[in-house]
Structure 1
Amino acid sequence: MNGRHMVAAVTIAVMALLTGCAGIPTSGPLGVSTTVPTQGPDGSLSFSAASPRDGMTPEEIIEGFYKAGVDTNDDYKTAREYLTTEFAGTWNPAAKATVYDADPAVVSNVEEGSYGVSVEVSSTVDDSGIRAVLPDRSSQLLTFQLTQVNGQWRISQAPDGVLIEAGNFESLFSPHTLYFYDSTFQYAVPDVRWFANKQGLAATVISAMLEGAAPHLNNAVFSAFPPGATLAQPSVPVESGEARVDFDATVFADASDLRRKHMRQQLELTLSSLDNVSSVVMTVDQQAVDLGAADPEFKAAQVNASVPNTQIAVADKALVYFQGNGYTAIGNIPDVSAYNPVDPAMSPVGTRYAFLSGDRKRLVTVDDAGTVRVAITGTNFTQPSVDYLGWTWTVNHNGGAHVIAVPSDTALDGEARDISAEWLDGAEVTSFRVSRDGARVVVAATIDGEAGIYIAGLIRDSAGVPRGVQTPVKLQLSQHLTRAVWERDDSIIAWNPDTEEPVAPVRATIDGKSEEFSPLLGLTNVSAGAGDRRNIYAENPEGIYVRSGNSWRKLEGQATGLAYPG
């Protein structure tokens, strides 16, 4: 399967807007509540929708139904009043949220008793809380069947889910971070979902976590809970900040005390986004699960783990450390000037380094003992990235895009190896950077002529040996950007280098938000890393700059290719 087919498998197909659509001839556009929302003490909005009136036309019933989709009270009781009794019992509002920008339009009587509503969609949220931000002017066609019940029109068939105006979306839905583990259980890996702000949120969040990670992280992250684990009850009571999560006894049947500790920690991390939860107790038949004695093997998983504050760079054809406003030489490394080094990298753990030769045809590694070796030769390598397990990553463009991983110990794990990433077949990759947790990668690539930023899981075996790159999720950004680095475990910074024009880097978070930085003339490189007081640096032909507020301040130090560890 080629790259464009693999990416298409995770792209939501949408229908073109129908011509000849007429706006619904009632006050207010379809799906927009005309009631005044109530604002809660936390700033969130709640809506109270109107029930159907006698004599409403089919178009008005459709409009009223989707207006009522913003009213979550009593499991969407008001929205169900627009449905036939039979359909009201089967309609599932949690199946999908369709978020739109432009006013929907209706096509009357597409077939006998059938109506179509065309919606310009900005994003969707599925029943697992996975949000997909769509390209501009994407659209979907929703079809309704209506029938008369005691002389009044009611909806007998409609798509599951609700329709939400974009301006109301973040009042009705909130992002919540589910957490999973990397292959070593040392790091907590975030998986952001969006859920409706309604009663039972704790159970909704936990149920989504138990179902497993999002597709782009499948087999790259791990849950402490066994496959098929579910809540014993459909609710999770929270009293005085304590969430009591009840499971069937089979969930713990084969779980060691260490695994049970990892289970509780995963629940605590996942529920940490809820303001009313401060602690978690796992129960079976309402009795607390025994976690056993303290275990020295249990370590708290690192969340948004910091990288060292010292960066690597190149100065006078040598690898150097850059910190603050200047650089220092790296000891115990022989002269590498013959390689004309560019695009350096270093491991977040230990003292391993990597760089490319000036012609970008050789990937050179430096081990903890200072031994320099050419790990692989090829064409137009991407800047290397070194993960915390010691693997050095790059992409070789010799005969296509090939993901390459070089182990820290070639005597034990062999030489450089190709890592499966079918979706990159035929692509031009310009960035390939591994996250601090080692479970994900941010990729800047041009696929079928279109530049994009992607996040994908790194599939490893139980020993941490890389086996593949998962099919990605694409970040929907307003610009076509060709470089990217991690900033935190939930955000990246992307840019399009240009030595002659102003360049405005963009911070993008995995919950779908983005922020444009102030531009810097001639920007070529950005260096960012997770942790407190980790500055963001940029380079242009004039030198090095540090981000201060939303502006750039020039530094005196001179070096190139700045990169935080990773």
Structure 2
Amino acid sequence: MRRGRGILAVVVLAVALVLSACAGLPTSGQVYPGLPADADANPPDFSFLPDRPQPGATPKEIVEGFIRAGSGPGLTETWERAREFLAPEIRDKWKPTAVVTVDVLGDRVYTSAAEGSVSLSLVAVATVDDKGAYEQAEGGPTSLPFELAKQADGEWRITQVRDGIVLDRDVFPTVFHHYSVMYFDPTWSYLVPDVRWFPTGNAATRVAEALVNKPPSEWLADSVTTSFQGVTVLPSVPVDPSGVAHVDLSESALSVPPDTLDRMLTQLQASLATAGVVEVQLSVGTTPISASPVPVRSTRVTGPSLVLTKDGLGFLVGEQLQPVPGLSDVVKTVSPVSIQVTADRDWAALRLTDGTVWRQGADGSSDRVDARPGLVDPTIDQFHTVWSVPRSNPGALTAHLPNGSSVAVADAWPGATEVSSIAISRDGARMAATVTSGGSTQVWIAGVVRATDGTPKRLGAPVALGEAVGTGVSLAWLDDITLGALSHAGDTSQVSEQLVGGPAGSTAAPAGMASLAGASAVSAVRMRGEDGLLYVRRGTNWQQTASGILVLATQQGMPQG
């Protein structure tokens, strides 16, 4: 069968474990966020080598082979095998990474029209642009036209084709990997990741160029800042066997103030850590640049679940409840149905049984900030600003400031008819929500645009990350780049783990789940059932660990020190 001839041949070129890399690990200094425990920054060096054009192939077979060849970037990542299907006059002009269309293999339909004309109909699930930004596709069929002509040797070759490649969604993660390009929040206190997708080879160069030479993703651009102003990076970032990346900056870096250089190094080191780099050395030509990473606020959440029981608010360690100083005694007296605690555990945002939203302080202060009907569970940021919104009015998002005033947040969730949950990121730069739009439940993300004093002004244009099955129930940040969304469809529950700037995975959950929380730990997802049972995920299974849980609280980080 011709289909059998077109199956990709996987050629193992090299698999080497460089044990000496351990010698390059630093033993002191700033800790940078890297890859999740189950991720591999340096995948085995496999090269997918698709078939060459076959002698006597028809125009349709040439187009089919060209599309399959998109899965094989080759060792030089120039897609040289795919270029063999192109006529010589366009072979060097074609830009394979201008746009990546991610689709479902079984939906592809090739149609031959006039001689030398072929069209491919597909249903895109996502696209990746030339900056590496992943975006969910709107759906519906897309047609790609191809023009072909016979060459002097009598073989058909493609003479007209749009730039870019097409990858099946199951193949896409083997050709491209996601990396976090790190920016600062406007206070220079937190690092904010901007997820990009690049071919797995030469990742350090691509990540550095994205950070230094290109702008942030459009939806995030007004919510973050960068230390790289007027400085560029040369288009090669070699990484030695010990994991040290050598970054050569433009001559303008020689006039940059020391504190800015320190921030540059911080951004580069954190960004390149997601590509497996353990240390960054800066230079301008042959001149080394001295810099030290600046301290940044961690957004990790570790340790046991934070819960409310009949005994109060505390961390559940075995069967014991360890109280949160100041908050435990006051929170249990007000009967909350939702609790979110700040990183320093000195403030909490609560929704009570009567539906009102409160800000509770560890010092005993308690303020009702919103009494509008139909409010969803609130969220609180590092400025102790409490955010609330009515379920039936997504555009009425309001930020309640610590001084007692409130700000109507402009441009909140345009086009949404309902919002069921909101969650601000632990760095305060991104707001996520589960909304109803066009009759479906979707997870949206938007940048938070603030004044210089941190007061929220508006949300940026939202980006739809993915759909949730059924009705949205609860939303929580699992880590800096992953959202957990709990939804109900009939009698079943489902948890979606949505990468911010990437695809989502979903798992079935026990019926009757009421809320979820995340942590930077092996059991990253925790859920509470309507019956008060607490579950944690162990691999692909859900394990019941406690009962009598009145509220499963969420945390916005951990205390410093």
Give the TM-score taking structure 1 as reference length. Answer: 0.81
Q: What's the secondary structure of 2:216's corresponding residue? A: coil
Superposed displacement of residue 159, structure 1? 1.1
For residue 321 of structure 1, what is the aligned residue in structure 2? 314
For residue 146 of structure 1, what is the aligned residue in structure 2? 148
Q: Which amino acid aligns with 1:86?
A: E
For residue 404 of structure 1, what is the aligned residue in structure 2? 398
Equivalence map 1:480-499=2 (5 Å): 480-482=470-472, 483-496=474-487
The answer to whether the Cα contact below 8 Å between 2:349 and 2:358 also exists between their aligned partners in 1 is yes
Partner Cα separation in structure 2 for residue 237 and residue 382 of structure 1: 49
Superposed displacement of residue 225, structure 1? 0.9
For residue 351 of structure 1, what is the aligned residue in structure 2? 346
Partner Cα separation in structure 1 for residue 493 and residue 278 of structure 2: 43
Superposed displacement of residue 99, structure 1? 2.7
For residue 27 of structure 1, what is the aligned residue in structure 2? 2
For residue 527 of structure 1, what is the aligned residue in structure 2? 517
Residues 381 and 238 (structure 1 numbering): CA distance in 2 closer, same or farther, change over 3 Å? same
The answer to whether the Cα contact below 8 Å between 2:446 and 2:462 also exists between their aligned partners in 1 is yes
Per-residue CA deviation, residues 97-142 of structure 1 (Å, 9 max, x unaligned), is 22332343222235x743211123333222111223447x743211
The answer to whether the Cα contact below 8 Å between 1:520 and 1:552 also exists between their aligned partners in 2 is no
Partner Cα separation in structure 2 for residue 47 and residue 363 of structure 1: 55
Equivalence map 1:22-421=2 (5 Å): 27-28=2-3, 33-38=7-12, 40-41=14-15, 42-43=43-44, 45-73=46-74, 74=76, 75-103=78-106, 104-109=108-113, 113-134=116-137, 138-150=140-152, 151-198=154-201, 200-210=202-212, 211-226=214-229, 229-232=231-234, 234-240=235-241, 241-251=243-253, 253=255, 255-275=256-276, 277-291=277-291, 299-302=294-297, 304-306=299-301, 311=306, 313=308, 315=310, 320-324=313-317, 325=319, 331=326, 341-360=336-355, 362-396=356-390, 401-410=395-404, 415-421=405-411
Structure 2, unaligned runs of 5 or more: 16-42
Partner Cα separation in structure 2 for residue 311 and residue 113 of structure 1: 65
Partner Cα separation in structure 2 for residue 117 and residue 398 of structure 1: 42
The answer to whether the Cα contact below 8 Å between 2:192 and 2:224 also exists between their aligned partners in 1 is yes
Superposed displacement of residue 243, structure 1? 1.9
Partner Cα separation in structure 2 for residue 157 and residue 395 of structure 1: 51
Superposed displacement of residue 162, structure 1? 1.6
The answer to whether the Cα contact below 8 Å between 1:307 and 1:564 also exists between their aligned partners in 2 is no
The answer to whether the Cα contact below 8 Å between 1:502 and 1:520 also exists between their aligned partners in 2 is yes
Equivalence map 1:469-508=2 (5 Å): 469-477=459-467, 479-482=469-472, 483-496=474-487, 501-508=491-498
For residue 425 of structure 2, what is the aligned residue in structure 1? 435
Structure 1, unaligned runs of 5 or more: 1-25
Residues 102 and 311 (structure 1 numbering): CA distance in 2 closer, same or farther, change over 3 Å? same
Q: What's the secondary structure of 1:47's corresponding residue? A: strand
Q: What's the secondary structure of 1:474's corresponding residue? A: strand
Residues 153 and 282 (structure 1 numbering): CA distance in 2 closer, same or farther, change over 3 Å? same
For residue 555 of structure 2, what is the aligned residue in structure 1? 564
Superposed displacement of residue 330, structure 1? 6.7
For residue 39 of structure 2, what is the aligned residue in structure 1? none
Partner Cα separation in structure 2 for residue 265 and residue 335 of structure 1: 40
Per-residue CA deviation, residues 427-456 of structure 1 (Å, 9 max, x unaligned), is 311111112111112211112322111222
Higher alpha-carbon deviation: 379-388 or 305-314 = 305-314
Q: Which amino acid aligns with 2:144?
A: L
Q: Which amino acid aligns with 1:38?
A: V
Partner Cα separation in structure 1 for residue 340 and residue 481 of structure 2: 21
Q: Which amino acid aligns with 1:545?
A: L
Q: What's the secondary structure of 1:45's corresponding residue? A: strand
Residues 392 and 53 (structure 1 numbering): CA distance in 2 closer, same or farther, change over 3 Å? same
Residues 337 and 47 (structure 1 numbering): CA distance in 2 closer, same or farther, change over 3 Å? closer
Per-residue CA deviation, residues 388-424 of structure 1 (Å, 9 max, x unaligned), is 22111111357653111112233xxxx0111123434
The answer to whether the Cα contact below 8 Å between 1:307 and 1:348 also exists between their aligned partners in 2 is no
Does residue 538 of the first structure (1) align with residue 527 of the second (2)? yes
For residue 22 of structure 2, what is the aligned residue in structure 1? none
Residues 130 and 546 (structure 1 numbering): CA distance in 2 closer, same or farther, change over 3 Å? same
Partner Cα separation in structure 2 for residue 556 and residue 339 of structure 1: 21
Superposed displacement of residue 271, structure 1? 1.3
Per-residue CA deviation, residues 30-74 of structure 1 (Å, 9 max, x unaligned), is 9x5443443652545312234445544322332332233233234
The answer to whether the Cα contact below 8 Å between 1:476 and 1:512 also exists between their aligned partners in 2 is no
Partner Cα separation in structure 2 for residue 278 and residue 326 of structure 1: 39
The answer to whether the Cα contact below 8 Å between 1:46 and 1:172 also exists between their aligned partners in 2 is no
Partner Cα separation in structure 2 for residue 159 and residue 560 of structure 1: 54
Q: What's the secondary structure of 2:339's corresponding residue? A: strand
Residues 469 and 29 (structure 1 numbering): CA distance in 2 closer, same or farther, change over 3 Å? farther
Partner Cα separation in structure 2 for residue 61 and residue 513 of structure 1: 30
Higher alpha-carbon deviation: 335-344 or 505-514 = 335-344
Q: Which amino acid aligns with 2:200?
A: N
Higher alpha-carbon deviation: 399-408 or 441-450 = 399-408
Residues 268 and 226 (structure 1 numbering): CA distance in 2 closer, same or farther, change over 3 Å? same
Q: Which amino acid aligns with 1:28?
A: R
Count of aligned positions: 519
Q: Which amino acid aligns with 2:62?
A: I
Q: What's the secondary structure of 2:225's corresponding residue? A: coil
Give the TM-score taking structure 2 as reference length. Answer: 0.82
For residue 437 of structure 2, what is the aligned residue in structure 1? 447
Residues 127 and 33 (structure 1 numbering): CA distance in 2 closer, same or farther, change over 3 Å? farther
Superposed displacement of residue 91, structure 1? 0.8
Superposed displacement of residue 554, structure 1? 4.9
Residues 337 and 268 (structure 1 numbering): CA distance in 2 closer, same or farther, change over 3 Å? closer
For the aligned residues, what is the CA RMSD? 3.3
Identity %: 24
Higher alpha-carbon deviation: 518-527 or 178-187 = 518-527
Per-residue CA deviation, residues 442-494 of structure 1 (Å, 9 max, x unaligned), is 21111232211122222223332212222233232462351211121122221
Q: What's the secondary structure of 2:434's corresponding residue? A: strand
Superposed displacement of residue 279, structure 1? 1.9
The answer to whether the Cα contact below 8 Å between 1:114 and 1:146 also exists between their aligned partners in 2 is yes
Residues 508 and 449 (structure 1 numbering): CA distance in 2 closer, same or farther, change over 3 Å? same
Superposed displacement of residue 425, structure 1? 5.1
Partner Cα separation in structure 2 for residue 140 and residue 423 of structure 1: 28
Q: What's the secondary structure of 2:86's corresponding residue? A: coil
Superposed displacement of residue 261, structure 1? 0.9
Q: Which amino acid aligns with 2:411?
A: A
Partner Cα separation in structure 2 for residue 308 and residue 388 of structure 1: 20
Q: What's the secondary structure of 1:505's corresponding residue? A: strand
Superposed displacement of residue 93, structure 1? 0.9
The answer to whether the Cα contact below 8 Å between 1:307 and 1:436 also exists between their aligned partners in 2 is no
Q: What's the secondary structure of 2:149's corresponding residue? A: strand
Residues 142 and 336 (structure 1 numbering): CA distance in 2 closer, same or farther, change over 3 Å? closer
Q: Which amino acid aligns with 2:83?
A: R
Partner Cα separation in structure 2 for residue 471 and residue 29 of structure 1: 46
Partner Cα separation in structure 1 for residue 67 and residue 397 of structure 2: 47
The answer to whether the Cα contact below 8 Å between 1:304 and 1:489 also exists between their aligned partners in 2 is yes
